[in-house]
Amino acid sequence: MANKVGDSSQGEAWGSHLEFILSCIGYCVGLGNVWRFPYLAYENGGGVFFIPYFLMLFLVGIPLFYTELGMGQYSGEGTLGVWKCFPCAKGLGYGMIVVSFYVMIYYNVVIAWSVHYLFSGMQKILPWTKCNEWWNTATTKVSFKARESRRVLQVEDNFTDGGGLYGLGNNGPVLGDLVGCNLFAWILVFACLCKGVQSVGKVVYVTATFPYLVLLILVIFGATLEGAGDGIKFYLKPDITKLSDPKVWSTAASQIFFSLGVSFGGLMVMSSYNKFSNNIMRDTFIVALGNCFTSIFAGFGVFSFLGHMAFKNCMSVDSVVRSGPGLAFIAYPEAMGLLPASQLFSVLFFIMLITLGLDSQFAFVDILIAGLLDEFPNLRYGWRRTLTVSIFCFVGFLLGFPILTKGGLYWFKFVDNYSAYYGLLLLALFLSLSVHFGYNFMSEKFRFLKNMKEMNGNMNIVLKCYFYACWYLLTPGMIIFIIAMAFSGYAPIWGDDGEPSDVYPEWSNGLAMTMSMSPIIISVPYFLISLIYTRGKSRLPCDSFKSKEEKEAATTTQDSKF
């Protein structure tokens, strides 16, 4: 039950510690664990990839994860309110909100696709296993035409409109069935968020645990399929030479970074509902390690089915391996269509995708809501909160329309690739520097460390040495390395040939970089203006930053006077 503790804090609390853990696991364990990690492992050295993957977990993931949980729990504030600790860096909170806003739009569309597949698969014969249907007949024609002439013109299908390819400049008609599915998905999100953690805390008992049940079923059953062993060999086959490739290390760090959801602000928001004395050190290791082992475990299920599909079609495994939506909505459904109980596995798989997506989507939307409530506390309760949640959901629904067109997949790839990449990496760097160098030293020496001690007592010497080394050297150093690798590998959105196309016109590259860098475009000016304002002061103005306990005590004292 949500407990009011005064408008100075978030005013809500998890019903139990388990609700918090499940919410964090649901937030971190998402679609990327199923459709991205297994492919990255296969592509970057197989089993050898686990070495840089876990090393980056301890150098980058866990230190940042603990930092965000600590700031949120200590202050009891959301994405904006938490920066009372270091007002100059409040722009980072706005940057986090911007990133989460972008992501929530296309992430809900993935849930909508899953809903569409779920209901479409409730037929005697799975529709995507049939030949000569309008969607695959047209695709075959386009593929043949493209190979023959290298340019597709005047072909009536779901990729062209008779005057060129669908793309960012030519979306094509809106697909009504997907709009309905997207509306249904947003209604689910609204229903689970309208009462805050009081409702989310109960929903996660299902949404955070059901994917593990399905994954277990898929892994066990997948292991019994013909060809499964070949698929798993491709997944784990070690290539020790990959360890000398810096891109493999950068890929491992990036995957840890995005998989744990650091620098989006979601961890701050969720931990702000915790009890002040909750052991966040323990929670950090439980969630972070659980997330990584889930990714590895999911890979066994994915490659078992891909190995079976390759066996049935007399193909090599590498010819059927895909990443991203192609794995979740093409390769994996095709593999399930080869099974005797295909309808059952189809239903389980797409319910799993829906629950994986919903957990993360709850957090992305809640980041926006919490940021607004930090600034306008009078919106926290009653009909005002319900109206606030409904407005965010309605705006997200409307902005998803370009992705729900016949050319919408290109918009999906566009937003997926550029909404949370360069800008988010820079946010992570500034987050680390702002908390561990700015707030920790410029307001009061070792203030962050004192805050953590107030909540959980002293760290043991091993953990203290580990976190000190990461916070003050290794983590910012590794983030700088990731950023350097990301910018060095930059290529225009339209492809390797460096030329605009009908799909991605010339203006799309400028839009992509503007969107990707917008969190920093917001954050840096705010930081500079704040520094100018505080110039000459011996201490930065962070007196308003108080712990959750201090605010609750002040509220209790004030109430006792009446």
Q: Residues marked as binding for Na(+)?
A: 26, 29, 33, 259, 291, 356, 359-360
| Nearest to 177, CA basis, from 257, 117, 246 | 117
Known binding site: residues? Answer: 26, 29, 33, 259, 291, 356, 359-360
Q: Is 462 exposed, middle or buried (0-12, 13-18, 19+ CB in 10 A)?
A: exposed
Say how many CA atoms lie within 13 Å of 344 toward its Cβ.
7
Helices (H), 316-404: 325-326, 332-336, 342-375, 382-399
Give the C-alpha separation, 52 to 145, whole Å: 43
| Nearest to 106, CA basis, from 200, 190, 182, 192 | 182
Task: Taking the CA atoms of 119, 124, 127 and 128 in sequence, report the sign of the dihedral they define.
Answer: positive
Give the C-alpha separation, 134 to 114, whole Å: 20
Beta carbons of 41 and 233 less than 8 angstroms apart: no
- Per-residue H/E/C for 84-118: HHCHHHHHHHHHHHHHHHHHHHHHHHHHHHHHHHH
Give the C-alpha separation, 412 to 408, whole Å: 6
